Amino acid sequence: MKNKLPVGIQSFEKLRTDNYLYVDKTEYIYQLVRDNVPYFLSRPRRFGKSLLLSTLKAYWEGRKDLFSGLFIEKTEEKRADAWKKYPVFCFDFNGVNYQEKGALERALEFQLQGWEEEYAAVNANNTLGERFQKLVKAARERTGLKCVILVDEYDKPLLDVAERPDLQDHNKEVFKGFFSALKSLDSYIQFTFITGVSKFHKVSIFSDLNQLTDISLSKQYAGICGITESELRMSFSEEMEDLAAEQELSQAECLARLKKAYDGYRFHPDGVSVYNPYSLLNAFFDREFGSYWFATGTPGFLVRRLRESCFDIRKFTDRTIYAGESVLKDYTGDRMDLVPLLYQTGYLTIAGYDKQRRRYTLCFPNEEVKYGFLESLMPSYVPKAAAGSGLDIYTLDAYIEEGEPDKIRDVLTALFAGISYTKEADPFEHYFQSVIYIVFTLLGKYTVCEMQTYSGRIDCCVQTERFVYLFEFKRDESAEAALAQIDSKDYALPFIADSRKLFKIGVSFDSTSRRLVGWKAAE
C-alpha cells in the first residue's frame, strides 16, 4: 500500500491517526525533554516548525497512542512517570492578518478564552498578561502539574508588518506586556519551546527571558526540521521510484535532481544537510520537480530592501557573502540587516566556516531558491521584462545557444531602454552587471561576474555547451576600448584549450542617458 504523503499537514495527531507517512523525529523530542531547558528555534517558513510543536504538544499531553512504534516510545518505557497529561498552552500565530491594529490582541484573546473556560480562570477585567499569569497558576493548582508553554511563529505579527514600523512597535509592546508574565512564573512551568524565523530582542520573550537556549545553530539539532538524505532514502524509497519512472530517470539521476533542487540547507557548518520538506513532499505528490517553497511567496520588503540598499547581486554566484559569528548567532529582526535576514528566511544557507576569523560563508542552498530568488528580483531590476510586458528575456536563450552576439545585443539594448533609473547611490555599472547576471543566470547559463584571472578580473563570463562569452563593460568609454582590454589582459587565456567557440564582447554604456550605447564583438 502506498504511503499517504502529508502535504500541508501540520497536525501530528492527524498525521498519525490518518496513517500519513511520518519521518521519525522523536529522538530530538527525547533529547529536548531530557535536557528540559527553555528553548528557541529559528527556521525558515514552511520548514516543519509547526509539526514539531504539534509533536511536542502531543507528547506533553500524554498521547502515548500517537507515538506507537516511534523512537521515543521505547525510551519512555524506562520512566515510571512517563506519559503524564500536562496542561499545555500552545500559541499559534499563523493564519491571522496582522495588518490591522488590534489583530494581535484579538488573536491572544481568542486563545486565552478557551483555556480560561477549561481551567475556570476567567479574568476578563485584567490585562492580557495578567490573565495569562492567572491562567498558568490556575492550571497548576487544578492539575497538580507544571505547565508547558509552546509558541509557534511568535514573530509573524512582527514580520508581517515590517514595512509599518508604527504597527510593528505596537505589536512589540503587546508582546512585552504579555510574555513578560513568563519571567515570574518559572516555578509553574515545566517546559518552554518557542519557534520563529527571527529574533526580536525588544520583545520580552528575549529581553526578559534571557535564559532561553537558542538551538538554531546547534550541530546537535541541525536536522530537527527538514529531511536528511538518510531519512529520504529510508522513508521515501517508493516515492522516489514513482518520481523517477514519471520523469523517465534512473534512481541515481532522480536522487541527483532532488538534491540539486531541494537539498543544501545547513544550520551548522559541520551539521547534517537537509532537504526542504515542503518542496520534497510536493515533488513526490505531483511527481514533478516544481518550484514549491518559493511559490508560497517571497516577502516583498526583502526584494525592495535589496534593490534600495544597492546590494551586489553578483556576490550570490561566487560565495563571497560573509557573516561574522556574532552577527549570525545574535542577529535580531529589529535591525533588518540583509545578509543575516536572508539566512534566517531561508534564501541563504551556511556554506562554510572560518574558525580563525570566526566567520561564516553563505550561499544559495539549492536551485529552487537560486532561480526563484533571482526571478523575484526581475520586476524590480528589469520591469520591462516582467510578465505581460511584451518583452520576454527567454528570447535570449536561442541567441545565446546559437552563438549570435548581434541578436543578444538587440535584446539587451531593448531591456535597458525600458529602465527608468534615477538612484544615484547605485552606480549604473554595478546595476548593469547585476541585470546581466540575473538575466543570464535565469536562462540557466553558467554565469560568473568579476571572474578572476592571473591578469585581472573579467566583468562577466557566460558559458554554454558550445560557446563561451567574455564581457567587458565600460562606462562613458567606447566598446572598442572594452574589447581591447579583453585582449591586452589576456582574459581569453584560460579558455585557450577549450573546444568551445569563444566570443569577446566589449560593451559601453552612457552614464547620463543610462543606456547601452556601444557593442563590439570578436571571435
Chain centre distance of CA 217: 15
120-143 per-position pLDDT tens digit = 888 778 899 999 999 999 999 999
Domains and CATH numbers, the chain: 12-214 (3.40.50), 227-295 (no CATH), 297-367 (no CATH), 385-522 (3.40.1350)
Give me the amino acid identity at 405.
P
More confident residue, 9 or 319: 9
Strand partners, 413: none
Q: How far apart are CA 279 and CA 47, in angstroms?
A: 9
Reported as a pLDDT band with limits 50, 70 and 90, residue 429 is: low
Contact 134, 121 (CB under 8 A): yes
Written as nine digits, the cell of 279 is 518542496
Contact 103, 97 (CB under 8 A): yes
Position 319 pLDDT exceeds 80: no
164-218 per-position pLDDT tens digit = 889 988 998 898 888 887 778 889 999 999 999 887 765 656 655 557 889 999 9
Nearest residue to 262 via CA among 247, 249, 273, 246: 273
Q: How far apart are CA 416 and CA 385, in angstroms?
A: 10
Q: Report pLDDT for 456.
A: 73
Contact 403, 360 (CB under 8 A): no
Q: How far apart are CA 139 and CA 202, in angstroms?
A: 29
Reported as a pLDDT band with limits 50, 70 and 90, residue 427 is: low
76-87 per-position pLDDT tens digit = 887 767 899 999
Position 515 pLDDT exceeds 90: no
Burial letters for 43-56: b for 16+ Cβ neighbours within 10 Å, e otherwise? bbbbbbbbbbbbbb
Q: What mean pLDDT is reported for the chain? A: 86
Q: How far apart are CA 97 and CA 508, in angstroms?
A: 48
Reported as a pLDDT band with limits 50, 70 and 90, residue 338 is: confident
Burial letters for 399-437: b for 16+ Cβ neighbours within 10 Å, e otherwise? bbeebbbeebbebbeebbeebeeeeeebebeebbbbbbb
Reported as a pLDDT band with limits 50, 70 and 90, residue 428 is: low
Q: Report pLDDT for 219.
A: 95
Secondary structure (3-state) at 4 = strand
Across 376-386, average pLDDT: 71
Position 424 pLDDT exceeds 60: no
The CA-CA-CA angle for residues 508, 509, 511, to 5°, reads 140
Nearest residue to 222 via CA among 265, 191, 260, 258: 265
